[in-house]
């Protein structure tokens, strides 16, 4: 086993490399063997202190991303083809960067900075150069029209962390390895490897929990892969989770089960919480959720009486009309039972590069969208309003769009409408390695190096990790001649825009230098026994174990006076809205999403090893519904909502709650102009064709992708 420098990695000698897989939030350690430019094997790293040798099928696909013939190696520009359509042709970097800068600057000079829109996709946080250097460009484009995948994913988490704990990144993390009772709502970590919860090898951790006498209770309208491992599974109707959670809070107060323990001295608003949850009884919740009053009461009692307990909810509760209310109620359950900031409960991380100290805490509602007046969060608008900001005339209309590592045509509400709206733009530039359903509209595409051609430090997911660790990954292969890393693209494009606008550019500092500073200044840096730095992590390529999560409150709080205000005033209107909207009669079926362990949004479908096997883009329905409707597995059905209509193959499964149907996220490939051979051959349909951009969490503007009402008809 030998460790090699970047300079000799391209020799024909067999080399061994240590790296973190960046393809999902689990950041599993991998050992990669290469010979010359070929990857020989990718295996789990048993010495990684977080993943302990575990990997999922996505890790092996690192080599597929690197070698994908459809991945762009050079910039391309969009030109008219001989058939009257469009095609993308290769150009050199200087021409590409000049064209991109000219298009952006022309828009700014003619219409102002708000005429430029920015959308950053989910993979942004999986590539640290995208995080450290986007400001090299965006500091010159201080547009109000910024969007990201945050508002189709995790915005409620950020908002509640900001309101309760004082910082958008202070997420309470489930301490699964030391808990006795785990209540999991609308989450499926066996498929996702955790979400806002970095938890590799979660299957083994769940098994350990139950083997030591602990209990996992899963609430989900589908019997998910995680629910299959649970002690109990209860199905609740989509979009009613807030009713369940508020009823549990009601029981805690009603039955004198509130005991905040060590948190009591810095809590404000307990009486206000009691007052607002009193109307939401278990009987009321049972009438909406489909769960019984007895089960709801039992869950509250079991949680309160457990020695150490966790309440955690993810996509199923976040991406619905009451996602923010759900996340607030989850934290109230943890806090009012004394299970926040407690071993075996939920705790805050203390990462080696501490973004809680190094970034803005965030803000909310400081400006609003032009058309629908939706509020900003952290200077971003909800992506549900992106299309209307492109198509609606007037000052501030988006005329030029920059996208980075994103595919909003497939991943945001009413994607087909956005697809058409992108043709209304005067200019579009994308930083992306593929010509996908969104970037096919771009006038210029700027492709970065492959993941194996650049180094990496995980800035984002150490913040979410169930254990404090640190790991720096050196590049496996040299950067090809003439290629640019993502941070270099941002730097070069930013320099050109700054020069054209007579602004001061940003000094070029590589990401690893920034991380080195963050490590040395962090809690395990120069002033600690660990003395962490980039060089120290290079000497330990499998990573450094910094220990389990520990209680840190109230010192870790970033709120005024380091106190937790339990009842944010902005939430109050949501309680009346919940009563009103849950009382509305609903007809038809309710649509939910689902995740597969070999999927990650839309960008994992162009690799054969990840899409092989049975068709995964099916509409799952319950046997009861199938018998009543006369459906058979394999039947083609039309699924329609107020937003649109799709045709999809039916799959009957007893994992589904009656009245609920499930369609996976990220499909809908095969559109003209895309260059994704494998994905197009497994095109599927986009669930976002039938999600509506006006169906949102009204408090925050976060997209409501779960609980969408649909009708289904056989063809």
586 found inside a domain: yes
643 in the same domain as 617: yes
284 in the same domain as 218: yes
562 in the same domain as 681: no
- For helices 572-582 and 241-254, give the axis angle rounded to 10 degrees: 120
**Residues sharing a CB contact under 8 Å with residue 627, sequence separation 6 or more, in sequence order:** none
CATH number, domain of 581, equals 2.40.40.20
673 found inside a domain: yes
313 in the same domain as 182: yes
3-state secondary structure of 277: helix
Note every long-range contact of 69-73, with CB atoms under 8 Å and residues 24 or more positions apart, other chains counting: 69/677, 70/434, 70/435, 70/606, 70/675, 70/676, 70/677, 70/678, 71/433, 71/434, 71/447, 71/450, 72/432, 72/433, 72/434, 72/435, 72/445, 72/447, 73/447, 73/480, 73/483
3-state secondary structure of 398: coil
178 found inside a domain: yes
What's the distance, Cα to Cα, between the start and end of the chain in Å?
A: 59
User: How confident is the model over 658-682, as a mean pLDDT?
Assistant: 96
Distance CA 622, CA 626 (A): 6
Q: How confident is the model at residue 548 (pLDDT cuts 50, 70, 90)?
A: very high
140 neighbors 498 (Cβ within 8 angstroms)? yes
What proportion of the chain, given as a percentage, has pLDDT over 90? 95
135 found inside a domain: no
User: How confident is the model over 113-139, as a mean pLDDT?
Assistant: 96
How many Å is the Cα radius of gyration of the chain?
25
Considering its fold, how many domains does the chain have in total? 2
Distance CA 507, CA 167 (A): 28
3-state secondary structure of 619: strand
User: How confident is the model over 195-223, as a mean pLDDT?
Assistant: 97
Q: What is the pLDDT of residues 283-308, one digit of tens each?
A: 999 999 999 999 999 999 999 999 99
CATH number, domain of 262, equals 3.40.228.10
3-state secondary structure of 67: helix
Distance CA 29, CA 15 (A): 17
Q: What is the pLDDT of residues 357-391, one digit of tens each?
A: 989 999 999 999 999 999 999 999 999 999 999 99
Q: What is the pLDDT of residues 310-362, one digit of tens each?
A: 999 999 999 999 999 999 999 999 999 999 999 999 999 999 999 999 899 99
456 found inside a domain: no
617 in the same domain as 690: yes
309 found inside a domain: yes
User: How confident is the model over 92-102, as a mean pLDDT?
Assistant: 98
564 in the same domain as 680: no
User: Among 539, 573, 607, where does a domain finish?
Assistant: 573
CA 662, distance to chain mean position in Å, is 19
603 in the same domain as 616: yes
Q: Mean pLDDT of all residues in the chain? A: 96
670 in the same domain as 622: yes
Residue 84: per-residue pLDDT: 85
Closest CA to 490 of 448, 440, 458: 448
Looking at the DSSP bridge assignments, the partners of residue 650 are 619
605 in the same domain as 564: no
Residue 162 has pLDDT above 50, yes or no: yes
Residue 585: per-residue pLDDT: 65
328 in the same domain as 197: yes
Residue 5 has pLDDT above 60, yes or no: no
User: Among 542, 573, 604, where does a domain finish?
Assistant: 573
Residue 120 CB neighbours (<10 A): 24
Tell me the residue range of the domain where 345 lies.
155-352+554-573
Residue 8 has pLDDT above 70, yes or no: no
Q: What is the pLDDT of residues 147-161, one digit of tens each?
A: 999 999 999 999 999
Q: What is the pLDDT of residues 694-713, one digit of tens each?
A: 999 999 999 999 999 999 99
Provide the sign of the torsion angle of the four alpha carbons 524, 525, 530, 534, taken in this order. positive
483 neighbors 449 (Cβ within 8 angstroms)? yes
User: How confident is the model over 40-66, as a mean pLDDT?
Assistant: 95
122 found inside a domain: no
675 found inside a domain: yes
Residue 9 has pLDDT above 80, yes or no: no
Alpha helices in 523-636 (DSSP H): 534-538, 572-582, 608-611, 623-629
Structure tokens at 597: 């362990």
Structure tokens at 554: 């109230």
3-state secondary structure of 18: strand
Residue 307: per-residue pLDDT: 97
pTM tops 0.75: yes
Provide the sign of the torsion angle of the four alpha carbons 458, 464, 465, 469, taken in this order. positive
What proportion of the chain, given as a percentage, has pLDDT over 70? 98
What are residue 152's phi and psi, to 5 degrees?
-120, 20
Residue 600 has pLDDT above 90, yes or no: no
Residue 712: per-residue pLDDT: 97
567 in the same domain as 680: no
User: How confident is the model over 245-262, as a mean pLDDT?
Assistant: 98
710 in the same domain as 569: no
User: Among 573, 606, 633, where does a domain finish?
Assistant: 573
Residue 2 has pLDDT above 80, yes or no: no
């Amino acid at each position: 086993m030998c460790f090699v420098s970047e300079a000799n990695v391209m020799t024909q000698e067999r080399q061994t490399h240590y790296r973190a897989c960046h393809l999902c939030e689990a950041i599993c350690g991998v050992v990669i063997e290469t010979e010359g430019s070929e990857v020989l094997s990718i295996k789990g790293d048993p010495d990684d202190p977080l993943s302990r040798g575990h990997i999922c099928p996505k890790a092996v696909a690192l080599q597929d991303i690197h070698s994908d013939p459809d991945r762009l190696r050079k910039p391309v520009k969009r030109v008219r083809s001989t058939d009257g359509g469009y095609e993308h042709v290769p150009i050199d970097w200087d021409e590409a960067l000049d064209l991109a800068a000219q298009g952006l600057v022309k828009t700014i000079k003619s219409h102002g900075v708000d005429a430029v829109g920015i959308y950053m996709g989910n993979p942004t946080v999986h590539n640290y150069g995208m995080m450290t250097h986007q400001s090299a460009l965006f500091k010159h484009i201080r547009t109000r029209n910024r969007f990201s995948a945050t508002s189709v994913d995790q915005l409620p988490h950020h908002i509640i962390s900001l309101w309760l704990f004082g910082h958008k990144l202070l997420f309470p993390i489930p301490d699964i390895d030391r808990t006795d009772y785990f209540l999991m709502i609308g989450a499926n970590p066996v498929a996702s490897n955790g979400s806002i919860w970095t938890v590799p090898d979660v299957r083994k951790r769940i098994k350990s929990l139950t083997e030591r006498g602990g209990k996992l209770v899963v609430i989900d309208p589908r019997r998910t892969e995680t629910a299959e491992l649970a002690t109990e599974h209860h199905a609740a109707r989509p979009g009613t989770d807030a009713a369940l959670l508020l009823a549990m809070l009601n029981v805690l107060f009603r039955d004198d089960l509130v005991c905040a323990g060590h948190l009591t001295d810095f809590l404000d608003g307990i009486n206000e919480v009691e007052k607002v949850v009193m109307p939401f009884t278990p009987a009321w919740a049972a009438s909406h959720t489909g769960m019984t009053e007895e089960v709801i009461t039992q869950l509250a009692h079991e949680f309160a009486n457990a020695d150490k307990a966790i309440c955690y909810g993810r996509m199923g509760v976040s991406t619905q009309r009451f996602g923010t209310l759900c996340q607030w109620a989850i934290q109230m359950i943890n806090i009012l039972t004394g299970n926040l900031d407690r071993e075996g409960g939920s705790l805050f991380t203390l990462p080696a590069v501490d973004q809680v100290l190094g970034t803005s805490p965030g803000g909310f509602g400081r400006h609003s969208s032009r058309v629908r007046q939706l509020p900003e969060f952290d200077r971003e608008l909800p992506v549900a309003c992106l299309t209307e900001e492109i198509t609606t005339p007037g000052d501030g209309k988006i005329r030029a769009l920059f996208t980075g590592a994103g595919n909003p045509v497939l991943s945001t509400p009413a994607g087909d409408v956005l697809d058409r709206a992108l043709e209304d733009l005067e200019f579009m530039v994308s930083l992306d390695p593929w010509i996908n359903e969104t970037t096919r509209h771009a006038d210029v595409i700027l492709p970065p190096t492959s993941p194996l051609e650049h180094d990496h430090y995980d800035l984002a997911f150490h913040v979410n990790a169930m254990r404090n660790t640190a790991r720096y990954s050196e590049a496996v292969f040299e950067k090809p001649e003439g290629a640019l890393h993502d941070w270099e693209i941002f730097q070069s494009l930013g320099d050109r825009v700054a020069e054209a606008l007579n602004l001061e550019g940003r000094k070029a500092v590589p990401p690893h230098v920034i991380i080195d500073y963050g490590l040395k200044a962090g809690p395990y840096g120069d002033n600690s026994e660990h003395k962490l730095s980039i060089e120290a992590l290079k000497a330990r390529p499998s990573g450094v174990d910094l220990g389990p999560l520990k209680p840190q409150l109230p010192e870790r709080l970033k709120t005024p006076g380091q106190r937790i205000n339990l009842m944010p005033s902005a939430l109050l209107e949501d309680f009346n809205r919940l009563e009103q909207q849950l009382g509305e009669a609903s007809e038809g079926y309710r649509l939910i999403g689902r995740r597969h362990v070999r999927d990650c949004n839309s960008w994992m479908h162009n690799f054969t090893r990840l899409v092989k096997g049975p068709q995964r883009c099916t509409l799952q329905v319950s046997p009861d519904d199938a018998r009543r409707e006369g459906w058979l597995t394999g039947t083609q059905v039309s699924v329609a909502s107020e937003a649109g209509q799709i045709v999809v193959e039916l799959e009957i499964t007893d994992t589904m709650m009656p009245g609920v149907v499930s369609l996976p996220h990220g499909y809908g490939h095969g559109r003209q102009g895309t260059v994704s051979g494998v994905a197009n051959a497994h095109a599927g349909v986009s669930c976002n064709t039938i999600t509506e951009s006006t169906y949102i969490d009204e408090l925050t503007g976060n997209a409501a992708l779960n609980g969408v009402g649909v009708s289904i008809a056989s063809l």
